[in-house]
Chains A and B, each alone.
Chain A
Amino acid sequence: MIKNIDMKKIINISLAIAGFLLILSSCTKDLNTIPIDEDVVTSKVVFDNPDAYKQVLAKLYAGLAVTGQEGPAGNPDISGIDEGFSQYLRGYFYHQEFTTDEAVIGWNDQTIKDFHYQTWGASDVFIQAMYYRLFYQIVACNEYIRETTDEKLDERGVSGDLRTDIEYFRAEARFLRALSYWHALDLFGSVPFVTEEDLIGAFFPEQISKADLFDYIESELLSIDDLLLDARANEYGRADKGAAWMLLAKLYMNAEVYIGMNKYTECISYCNKLTEAGYSLEDNYDHLFLADNSNLAEVIFSINFDGAFTKTYGGTTFIIHAATGGDMPPEDVGIDGGWGGIRTTKAFVNKFDDISGETDTRANFYTENQELEINDIGLFTDGYAMQKFSNLRSDGNNASDLEFTDTDFPMFRLADVYLMYAEAVLRNGAGGNAGTALEYVNDLRERAYGDDSGNISAGQLTLEFILDERARELYWECHRRTDLIRYGLFTGGDYLWPWKGNSFDGTSTDSKYNLFPIPDADLGANPNLIQNPDYL
């Protein structure tokens, strides 16, 4: 039967088949399709748009404030955790404040009570969130630093003003990376280490020692000193020399904790640079923490929030809502309703001679229907509440939204510099003198009291006093844990506060808790890592 068929027919059919196959092969090109959503751009072409450089930098700063590309939640930066918990400042508050005498939290979210009890473990979900948030920042900064090298900019033909701007942007990205590495050093100690030399991919980062990490942070900050804009010369929200000096001061202040070396002299030298840079104390203490607290002369570096445009369930939205509960009228702090979580312990309350706020205006206690003693840590009315941060403007009016706050968070401010100077002098650092130290401290007391009735004498200026004054001045600004560790009082039995170690009056805790454990998930993913001492 086949013999009867024309050759012609066979040729026709073969041609048809060949034609078909040609069409088929072109269809396979469809497999290399690229995103069609105009909000998504491939890395190859993203920097074809010159505005992109500042937008990517904006994300590096935004990483401190928001949790994803949708506010208040959605399209998150890191996953596996409730998005509210993954916010940088909120996590930092949990680690630096809940673990101390300054704050307790009454919620039932998983292991959140372990922070105040100092009983956390390596599978703690909040510790994991903080850890990954820090590394999110670090890797994002590394990526930006890679994309803004001289070679890359030359390749793209970038020059002129844009080029100059990008060089500042790049220095600021290095600052932000150093900031997150400092937080990592302070919270976790020895961590995995990656720089812009380490490309995205599958590999196991090495674990860096605390000493080497200290050196790296120091060298980065020293090298970008020349590359940043002068202190107070940059746009609001962006880092400048002042921010870098402050971070160096912090690094040196705690050098004994990190590397067992005395660096108080270096600390004083940077404190001096800061006090001469033109910052000045705000007249009214409360104004530092209100909805319109941007562009204040006292603030060296802040994390900025906005009720309409920078929305998050963390940040100051978290601090203000969580601190409101019980009978407290939410409209007193410019919000719609409280979340009933945060109060303080009597150990902190007792640092004030007068808790009414009439003399020392920093005593912002809310005591109506609140008990001083904490019998049930889960009950909001046990423990005095505090109203430090508020979403009202300085004229008493509401801010742009009742749920999401406008209030910026002052990470570094001049008052802190004054207290660091005083402490470094008392710890025998060179380059400063006791007289100036006393002056600085009294400046703060005068600002707080409104007159000199709270001033102290030279004899009263002791290390212990400075620690207490840091509490009164800087409470809830995420410094407390670092300060207590520096004084050797964070763990152990030398300083007890209610519910430390999960006991009513407080009890001694193991010194392993001076560092947080590397999360189980990363130990499992990276065989190069060794857990911090004494954690299982």
Chain B
Amino acid sequence: MTKFQIQKLLLSLAIICFSVVSAFSQGGNVTGTITDATDGATLPGASVVIEGTTLGTVTDINGNYSIDVSLNTTLVFSFLGFETREIIVQPSTIVDVALTPKVTRLNELIIVGYGVQKKKDATGSITAVNSDEFNTGAITSPTELVMGKIAGVQITTGGGAPGSEATIRIRGGSSLSANNDPLYVIDGVPVSSSGISGMRNPLNTINPNDIETFTVLKDASAAAIYGSRASNGVIIITTKKAKLGGKALKLNYSGNFSFSTPTKKIDVLGADDFRNLVAEKYPSQVSMLGDANIVWQDEIFENAIGMDHHLSLMGAVKNIPFRVSMGHSNNDGILKSDNIKRTTIGTSINPVFLDNHLKVNINAKYMNVDNRFADRGAIGGAIQFDPTKPILSGDTAYGGYYAWLQNSGNPVTQATTNPVALLNLREDLSNVDRFIGNAQIDYKMHFLPELRANLNVGYDYSKAEGTVYVPEYAAWSYDDATGGGINNMYEQEKKNELLELYLNYSKELKSIDSKIDLMAGYSWQHFWRKNYSINSDVANTPSKTDTISDPTEYYLVSFFGRLNYNLMDRYLLTASLRQDGSSHFSEDNQWGFFPAVAIAWNAINEPFMKNVKTFSQLKLRLGWGITGQQNILDNDYPYLPRYTSSQVNAQYQLGNLYYTTLRPEGYDANLKWEETTTYNIGLDYGFAKDRFHGTLDFYFRETNDLLNFIPVPAGTNLTNIILTNVGDLENKGAEFSIITRPVVKKDLVWEIGFNATYNENKITRLIASDDPTYPGSPTGGISGGVGNYIQMNSVGYSTNSFFVFEQIYDAEGMPIQGMYVDRSGDGEITTADKYHYKKPAADFFFGISSNVQYKNWNFSFSGRANFGNYVYNNVASENGVYERLYRPEGPYLGNVASYVYDTDFDNPQYLSDYYIEDASFFRMDNIKLSYIFKDIINGNADLSLSATVNNAFVITKYQGLDPELTGGLDNNIYPRPRIYVFGVNLQF
């Protein structure tokens, strides 16, 4: 034997001995291959672990594994995206395991209007975000859950107040004066988008912890099924529901404790610098200075705490799945005295009868919100108030707070108000109750199981009550004759009713390898609201009391139908038509038709793609559709000639009597729907087994017959500006999204999502006569002087473009006060020299989120950026001038912002383009670290602890407090705090 042969022999002997030894030590080797149950493909990198230990291995490139076990060992086989299997194995055996994929993304059901569709069959531009992908932290409103997550969708909060309103724009705004908000459908009930008095954001009704999915229908082919209200896109929110099967009872507790802190202040003069500046600029007014040293912004902002508790119970009782949830939150705002308390109760019952033929879905959500609104005037007031004056005057008058007084001892009516007094003396309270309920019955015909009837009945009721009270001794509302003060109350009641019925027929035609799905339906909705308010002073002086009561209502009736045709799972066609009638228009114009067609080509299923392994998903989509808009916010009868009575304080004296007057209102009898036509081309892609997947869309939207308030020719109507159909608007852009997993290992998974949107918005027509010299209609009122407008809607420009003078600078780059470029060349500076300069809407916006899962640790962050958005810094234009130091109309002294050192302006130059600043920004919305304790309490529960920072940081060049503003006008925005959140989640 050769040396080599001897070595081999020894090796074999050793192995045999070893094996024998192993066998006698009751251990042995198990080998096998792990495959995908659907197609037999092997799965490299799948994990094989001995249950209850950390011992394990990973399959090799061929899907093979090998592991040592003792008798009766349970092995756990798992792979991302597949159902885990546990098998008891014996040593020295071969165990091949086939794993079934979890419901994949493609097979996932997404919600489209009036039904669901598999994602792979969808033809429109639809993005769904599920609860595990939501943003986290101190979330008070559902819209915050998806900020930055969806291409084409831009969500901006109104500021840093807890529960503040949010503006959502899908693919730019398609309207000028009609509503630009998308349609919200909550559990099948389309809700009115008009606000609720006493509640800043009507969506706050839904506790974010109860939301399962947030689906956005972006293009017309998806949204047109909602016809007349879908021009700005549709957002479908579904709440969590129990399912049959699974654990008997699941209990979940989720708690959040948050600490908010202000991040930035406007730079105003400190008391000593102020004293010096007054001595320099207004030496004769030095006697008006005080001795104190107050930084007013520090006095009105504070660190705030908040907490949120949520409990839900999900399960089945006697085969009836149910879910009950309760939530309570209490959040203070960083502006002193701001507070919001909210209680939500939600239930849903989803029994199934008659052998799955009859499905019943009953949802009820109740919410109660208690608000105390801090007076936001204090924000501007803190910038303007004299830093040398104390907070308390040392006197008992005016509540003890310092106030500017005239010689008579009465307050100076034109002076700035003590911001601390504003916050402490004003009680602005509201209490809102809201109930949204619906019952849905889905019946699959016994004699024809392909035919299904669905009836949905919904009811949305809200009642808001609020009071505003300011005592009579408050300086700013003081009245020598009647006492003064403010004593207001308001009540608002809203009732919306919904009745919807549709039939759905779906059949698989195997002979031609097709599936068809046909749906036809009817919907009736009634919106009613009533506002009632009494404004008065503390003494309820009759001449100071105004009572206003105005109930109003409107109806929507629709017929709709849709056809879905699927050929060989490769060629997909969707066609829909909706006919909507609205009581907003006269009988001749009531009905609008909204068709849509979309086709999609699932290229991945083509035979020639079978061998192309690079793509895991490839679908091309083309869509066209027309959607409508009829949401006229302030007036439900704009086409009807009618007379309105005057209030008691707008009467006229004839003889010895005061007469209530009757005024004929302006109207447009021919008012009709606004229509938006959308063209969309999209691509759904995925490659490397969906390791990278995402979408790419290009769209073009044109709105015709824009509902717009424009001046009508003088003499033709009973007022000067009428809501009428005149004007066209265009939005075009592109959306890109990608989700990828750069790292996928046994214990470590890293997922990154990124989306980017480009949108261009342009007004293409504004008035009936198409006159090219028509300058446009002014918009964007600013603070300073009265009635100044900084924006202008004109043909050929973006909505709300700024319309300003072009500033002239000196050799050192300082602006020269009052000197502007004479663009018209006529030797004078007049409005003819103004020009369109920049706009508030961003050109590009993108969102990025990252999620790293390492064993039981999870680290994630999510951020957003906007580019090309500009903001008019009204805080600088109003407060950055020396003239603010001494105001003779009081007289009183006021502070200036240090913006004044950059301009050296004496008088305000409100209309200069100097104040239009680039507000592009990147904001890190949340950073979170969490750890999950699995299987505690006898293996029955999972406990997750997390620490999150919201609004971690902002990178921007904008000089004001915050660059993120929807309308582009920074007039004392409520600053957004940085919030540190500690969260607990216990799941039984």
Interface residues of A (CB under 8 A from B): 1-2, 4-5, 9, 20, 24, 27-28, 30-37, 39-43, 46, 52, 54-59, 61-62, 65-66, 68-72, 74-75, 77-82, 84-85, 107-111, 119, 121, 123-125, 131-132, 135-136, 138-140, 143, 191-194, 198, 200-205, 235-238, 294, 304, 306-311, 325-326, 329-331, 336-341, 378-381, 398, 400-403, 520-527, 536
B412, B479, B830: which contacts A402 (Cβ < 8 A)?
B479
A40 CB contacts on chain B under 8 angstroms: 550, 637, 642-645
Q: Are A309 and B653 in contact (CB under 8 A)?
A: yes
Closest CB of chain A to B794's CB: distance in Å?
11
Asked whether A59 and B581 contact (CB < 8 A) given A108-B784, A192-B714, the answer is no
Q: Are B715 and A205 in contact (CB under 8 A)?
A: yes
Q: Which of B407, B664, B771 is packed against the most chain A CB atoms within 10 Å? A: B664
Closest CB of chain A to B878's CB: distance in Å?
10
When C-beta atoms are compared, the residue in chain B nearest to A235 turns out to be B655
Q: Which of B685-707 contact A (CB under 8 A)?
A: none
**B646 beta carbon closer than 8 Å to chain A:** yes
B557, B656, B658: which contacts A306 (Cβ < 8 A)?
B658
Q: Are B714 and A522 in contact (CB under 8 A)?
A: yes
A329 CB contacts on chain B under 8 angstroms: 406-408
Closest CB of chain A to B474's CB: distance in Å?
14
A121 CB contacts on chain B under 8 angstroms: 830-832
Asked whether A33 and B659 contact (CB < 8 A) given A125-B787, A309-B648, A524-B773, the answer is no
Asked whether A325 and B888 contact (CB < 8 A) given A402-B481, A520-B775, the answer is yes
**B84 beta carbon closer than 8 Å to chain A:** no
**B101 beta carbon closer than 8 Å to chain A:** no
**Cα-based distance from A326 to B554 in the complex (angstroms):** 53
Annotate B758-784 by CB proximity to A: 1 below 8 A, 0 otherwise: 000000000111010111011000001
**B786 beta carbon closer than 8 Å to chain A:** yes
Closest CB of chain A to B389's CB: distance in Å?
19
**B295 beta carbon closer than 8 Å to chain A:** no
Given contacts A40-B645, A402-B479, A403-B479, 15 further A-B contacts (CB under 8 A): A33-B555, A34-B640, A35-B637, A42-B642, A58-B660, A74-B647, A81-B787, A123-B775, A139-B716, A200-B666, A202-B670, A236-B655, A310-B650, A337-B406, A337-B412
Annotate B652-685 by CB proximity to A: 1 below 8 A, 0 otherwise: 1111101111111011111000000000000000
Q: Are A200 and B641 in contact (CB under 8 A)?
A: yes
**B712 beta carbon closer than 8 Å to chain A:** yes
**Cα-based distance from A58 to B645 in the complex (angstroms):** 11
When C-beta atoms are compared, the residue in chain B nearest to A110 turns out to be B788
B413, B554, B652, B718: which contacts A33 (Cβ < 8 A)?
B554
Q: Which of A72, A329, A336 is packed against the most chain B CB atoms within 10 Å? A: A336
Asked whether A235 and B710 contact (CB < 8 A) given A42-B640, A402-B480, the answer is no
B557, B587, B647, B910: which contacts A30 (Cβ < 8 A)?
B557
Q: Are A398 and B481 in contact (CB under 8 A)?
A: yes
Q: Which of B551, B670, B831 is packed against the most chain A CB atoms within 10 Å? A: B831
**Cα-based distance from A339 to B710 in the complex (angstroms):** 32
**B52 beta carbon closer than 8 Å to chain A:** no
Q: Are A135 and B643 in contact (CB under 8 A)?
A: no
Annotate B557-592 by CB proximity to A: 1 below 8 A, 0 otherwise: 100000000000000000000000111000100100
When C-beta atoms are compared, the residue in chain B nearest to A69 turns out to be B646
Q: Are B646 and A79 in contact (CB under 8 A)?
A: no
A131 CB contacts on chain B under 8 angstroms: 714
B667 CB contacts on chain A under 8 angstroms: 200
Closest CB of chain A to B601's CB: distance in Å?
34
Interface residues of B (CB under 8 A from A): 406-408, 410, 412-414, 447-448, 479-482, 501, 522, 524, 526, 542-544, 546, 548-555, 557, 581-583, 587, 590, 636-637, 640-656, 658-664, 666-670, 709-721, 724, 767-769, 771, 773-775, 777-778, 784-788, 824, 826, 828, 830-832, 888-889, 891, 907-908, 910
**Cα-based distance from A140 to B891 in the complex (angstroms):** 43
When C-beta atoms are compared, the residue in chain A nearest to B774 turns out to be A524
Q: Are A304 and B653 in contact (CB under 8 A)?
A: yes
Can you offer 22 A-B residue contacts whose CB atoms are under 8 A?
A2-B447, A28-B557, A33-B554, A41-B645, A54-B654, A56-B663, A58-B651, A61-B654, A70-B650, A80-B778, A109-B787, A135-B714, A135-B720, A138-B715, A194-B715, A201-B669, A202-B716, A326-B888, A401-B481, A401-B482, A520-B773, A525-B768
B670 CB contacts on chain A under 8 angstroms: 202
A77 CB contacts on chain B under 8 angstroms: 663, 719
**Cα-based distance from A75 to B824 in the complex (angstroms):** 38
Q: Are B554 and A79 in contact (CB under 8 A)?
A: no
**Cα-based distance from A20 to B651 in the complex (angstroms):** 51
**Cα-based distance from A326 to B892 in the complex (angstroms):** 11
Q: Are A66 and B447 in contact (CB under 8 A)?
A: no
**Cα-based distance from A326 to B482 in the complex (angstroms):** 25
When C-beta atoms are compared, the residue in chain A nearest to B714 turns out to be A135
A136, A191, A201, A524: which contacts B769 (Cβ < 8 A)?
A524
When C-beta atoms are compared, the residue in chain A nearest to B659 turns out to be A58
**Cα-based distance from A252 to B785 in the complex (angstroms):** 40
Q: Are A70 and B774 in contact (CB under 8 A)?
A: no
Q: Are B716 and A200 in contact (CB under 8 A)?
A: yes
Q: Are B771 and A69 in contact (CB under 8 A)?
A: no
When C-beta atoms are compared, the residue in chain B nearest to A143 turns out to be B664
Q: Are B784 and A340 in contact (CB under 8 A)?
A: no
**Cα-based distance from A193 to B713 in the complex (angstroms):** 11
Which 6 pairs from chain A and chain B are nearest by CB?
A337-B413, A340-B889, A308-B543, A524-B774, A235-B655, A71-B649
